[in-house]
């Protein structure tokens, strides 16, 4: 495997990882204190760069940006008036890092005032009172950064196939995870809170809209290995038992999230594709079971240098041929509807429960056909056929169920 996806061994660098987590919290809390609130705490996050992790510009003094440089292993600050300051990342204490950072901000013309205690860690110790010696493993940090670069690229590609509200790909210093989140557009029930060392109001603001979220942890927090995660809030019925890909992904009862070990991606024949399967399948489970309007929210993956075709143009491109390409295979016990456009196939399967009842159990529309109302067309064809044949429909498939619920004029075929 190339260096793009390096091996990561959390247990061998967990002390360095813990130290880096706390260092990022110090800088993140400074950004949080000086940046206007942006929904879901997006005003406080870090972003992956070819050098490491950046805060982006912080509106303090002349304007300040902080970079964790994982090539030269330094914290580097630059200001809008041309000043630059830095200090080395090395074996240290959290208190020493805190003092160095306070001096750096003062030297750049900023005000180093921010909350002085960690969040989302067990038994938090104030930064300036944490004098325990912490190691700094340069090789492990470099590997972690290379992994972040690879993951960031796949997450950003995944983000391009969604037209609704979506977070940037960013790193949260509280839970120390790189994350990307999609939103249905609907309000969510109030989050119960209870996250260690985190005000309930922060968690409740973060989850006041329905979400499907995925991310990456280097390890810790309930698992002793690096892993990808995916969850939905609120989790729809049946989410935990939904089929997800690849086969190495599983539901973790303790975390109540889907987990895909980093090692399973790193060792895959195509790591990018393995991770994309996880992102897409967990989102589809959340969106379908949650009744999201995927025809409105989804689109094809973005292409380099090519403008995304708006829905009207996609419909024009598909033309009337979409209607002509609906095929049906009807067997004694099972059947399917199929549409093939430009060599890409979408299908909807069903089972027969007697002569007068079919059960729609699955709909699969590849990303290349999203935004062209192909899934809606499949359901419409099933409705039209049911009327003609005097058959009733039970839509067990969440997508088909949502489509019929949005079309009252189709509901005459539902089983009474």
Number of neighbouring beta carbons within 10 Å of residue 131: 10
Query: CA angle, 257 as apex, 253 and 262 as ends, to 5°?
Result: 105
Chain-centre distance for alpha carbon 416: 39
Which among 275, 199, 300, 394 has a CA at the least distance from the CA of 5? 275
Q: Phi first, then psi: what are they for 121, rounded to 5°?
A: -130, 150
> What is the pLDDT, as a whole number, of residue 321?
42
Give the CA distances from residue 19 to residues 26, 31, 113, 123, in Å, rounded to whole numbers and listed in that order: 11, 19, 21, 15
CB under 8 Å to 309, separation ≥6 — which residues?
A: 317
> What is the pLDDT at residue 295?
79
Strands 357-364 and 392-395: parallel
Q: What is the pLDDT of residue 2?
A: 58
Q: Is the pTM of this model over 0.95?
A: no
Cα 325 off chain centre by: 34
- Are 244 and 281 a contacting pair, CB within 8 Å? yes
Residues near 308 by beta carbon (within 8 Å), at least 6 away in sequence: 299, 300, 302
Q: How far apart are CA 346 and CA 339, in angstroms?
A: 5
Q: How far apart are CA 320 and CA 88, in angstroms?
A: 64
Q: Where are the alpha helices (DSSP H) in 243-270?
A: 262-266
CA pair distance 340, 368, nearest whole angstrom: 11
Tokens for 202? 């922060």
Tens-binned pLDDT, residue by residue, of the chain (416 aa): 457 999 999 999 999 999 999 999 999 999 999 999 999 999 999 999 999 999 999 999 999 999 999 999 999 999 999 999 999 999 999 999 999 999 999 999 999 999 999 999 888 999 999 999 999 999 999 999 999 999 999 999 999 999 999 999 999 999 999 999 999 999 999 999 998 889 999 999 999 999 999 999 999 888 999 999 999 999 999 999 998 999 999 999 999 999 999 999 999 999 999 999 999 999 999 998 998 988 789 888 888 898 987 766 666 665 544 445 789 999 999 999 999 988 889 999 999 998 899 999 998 888 777 767 888 899 999 999 999 999 999 998 888 888 898 888 999 999 87
Residue 62's pLDDT is: 97
């Amino acid at each position: 495997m190339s260096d793009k996806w390096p091996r990561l061994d959390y247990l061998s660098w967990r002390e360095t990882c813990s130290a880096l987590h706390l260092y990022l919290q110090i800088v993140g809390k400074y950004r949080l204190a000086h940046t206007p609130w942006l929904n879901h705490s997006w005003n406080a996050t870090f972003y992956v760069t070819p050098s490491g992790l950046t805060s982006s510009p912080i509106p303090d003094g002349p304007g300040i940006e902080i970079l964790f440089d994982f090539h030269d292993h330094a914290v580097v600050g630059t200001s809008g008036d041309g000043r630059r300051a830095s200090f080395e990342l090395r074996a240290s204490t959290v208190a020493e890092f805190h003092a160095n950072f306070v001096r750096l901000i003062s030297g750049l013309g900023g005000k180093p005032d921010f909350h002085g205690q960690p969040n989302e860690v067990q038994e938090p110790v104030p930064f300036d009172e944490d004098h325990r010696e912490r190691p700094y493993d340069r090789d492990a940090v470099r590997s972690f950064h290379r992994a972040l670069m690879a993951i960031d690229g796949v997450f950003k590609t995944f983000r391009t196939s969604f037209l609704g509200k979506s977070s940037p790909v960013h790193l949260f210093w509280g839970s120390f995870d790189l994350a990307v989140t999609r939103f249905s557009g609907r309000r969510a029930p109030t989050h119960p809170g209870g996250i260690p060392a985190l005000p309930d109001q922060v968690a409740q603001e973060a989850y006041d809209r329905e979400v499907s979220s995925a991310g990456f942890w280097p390890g810790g927090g309930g698992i002793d290995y690096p892993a990808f995660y995916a969850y939905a809030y609120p989790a729809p019925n049946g989410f935990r038992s939904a089929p997800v890909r690849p086969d190495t992904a599983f539901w973790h009862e303790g975390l109540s999230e889907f987990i895909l070990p980093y090692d399973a991606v790193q060792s895959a024949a195509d790591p990018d594709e393995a991770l994309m399967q996880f992102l897409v399948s967990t989102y589809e489970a959340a969106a379908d079971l949650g009744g999201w309007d995927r025809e409105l929210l989804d689109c094809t993956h973005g292409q380099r240098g090519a403008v995304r075709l708006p829905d009207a143009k996609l419909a024009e491109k598909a033309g009337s041929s979409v209607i002509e390409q609906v095929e049906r295979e009807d067997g004694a016990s099972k059947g399917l509807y199929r549409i093939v456009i430009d060599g890409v196939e979408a299908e909807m399967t069903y089972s027969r429960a007697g002569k007068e009842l079919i059960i729609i159990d699955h709909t699969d529309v590849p990303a290349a056909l999203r935004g062209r109302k192909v899934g809606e067309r499949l359901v419409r064809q099933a409705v039209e056929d049911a009327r003609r044949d005097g058959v009733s429909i039970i839509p067990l498939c969440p997508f088909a169920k949502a489509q019929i619920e949005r079309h009252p004029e189709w509901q005459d075929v539902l089983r009474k």
